[in-house]
Amino acid sequence: MTNDTKQKVREFYDEIGWQQEEGGLYQNARYDDLRPVVKEYVHNTRMRVKRGVEPTGKFMLDAGSGPVQYDEYLTYSQGYQKRVCFDISIQALREARKRIGDHGLFVVGDIANLPFKPNAFDGIVSMHTIHHLPSTEHKRAYLELFRVLNVGKKAAIVNGWTNPALVGWLDKLIVFSHRLRRFLRGKPLRAQPHDKKGTYVKKTNARWLRNEIGQEIPFEIVAWRSASTLTMRTLIHERFGGQAILRWLYQMEEKYPKFFGENGQYPLIILKK
């Protein structure tokens, strides 16, 4: 079951996720909100990752790098000699190589079984990747990242929580109202299969993380981005002061990072060795 799941995830990213669509965007960019009204908030939240890694070092590991798709991601490894892009998808690494060239080293593999020696990396980032593993392997992936992190250094991990207190109910309400509208218009309740391409995702929550790895790894949970893509797309609009709302939200996340990290959609989990 485990290898089957991983194989399906790999095939998805090789054949769909990291293929470019019209407009030069990857299919995977569908899961992001790319509208101008959210641009500043999204940019600022991506830059938060830098707080979870040392600015300089020899090797930085990007575990589940994809193609290093956004400009902000490039800044994480600016002060490093090499960025080791590691991914289960060879297509991801082909694209990453085009993007960062000589600055990169490119390794295909599984985040739950890292082929690196202990303490090999002065910095680690891993974004939106552990949730593609079967739940039985999430802990192992955290332990693996910790194992290969150098002593005295930090790793920055971003993943979505399942059903987070702040937005989980809102997302459910939004999905329900979309379905109700479709029903009232006589359309099928769900979008057509070709609109719903995706792959296996299994998310956890802050309690799970503390219970599973709290005894073994020192870490803190702070806010990365507490608004989900669905919530932003539905509620944030230029004409309703969307940018001002997101500026306020960002300030709140800055003021109460632990609360928004544990209860918002996406935490930044910082491992310290």
Ligand X SMILES: C[S@@+](CC[C@H](N)C(=O)[O-])C[C@H]1O[C@@H](n2cnc3c(N)ncnc32)[C@H](O)[C@@H]1O
Residues that bind ligand X (CB under 6 A): 6, 9, 13, 64-66, 69, 87-89, 92, 110-112, 127-129, 132-133
| Min dist. Cβ of residue 185 to ligand X (A) | 32
| Min dist. Cβ of residue 79 to ligand X (A) | 19
Closest-CB residue for ligand X?
Answer: 66
Give 138 or 153: the residue with its C-beta nearer to ligand X.
138
Q: How far apart are CA 61 and CA 84, in angstroms?
A: 5
Q: At a CB cut-off of 8 Å and minimum separation 6, what does 26 contact?
A: 17, 18, 19, 20, 66, 67, 69, 95
Coil, helix or strand at residue 102: helix
Residue length, the chain?
273
Handedness of CA 52, 55, 60, 62 (dihedral sign): positive
| Min dist. Cβ of residue 91 to ligand X (A) | 8
| Min dist. Cβ of residue 133 to ligand X (A) | 5
| Residue burial 219-250, b: 16+ Cβ < 10 Å; e: rest | bebbbbbbbbbbbbebebeeeeebbebbeebb
CB 148 within 8 A of CB 120: yes
Give 128 or 182: the residue with its C-beta nearer to ligand X.
128
| Min dist. Cβ of residue 17 to ligand X (A) | 6
Which secondary-structure segment (H or E) carries 269? strand 266-272
Give 147 or 179: the residue with its C-beta nearer to ligand X.
147
Give 27 or 243: the residue with its C-beta nearer to ligand X.
27
| Min dist. Cβ of residue 171 to ligand X (A) | 18
Strand partners, 124: 61, 155
Give 112 or 145: the residue with its C-beta nearer to ligand X.
112
267's tokens: 């935490």
- Cα Rg, the chain, nearest whole Å: 19
Give 43 or 210: the residue with its C-beta nearer to ligand X.
43
Are β-strands 104-108 and 121-127 bridged in parallel, bridged antiparallel, or unpaired? unpaired
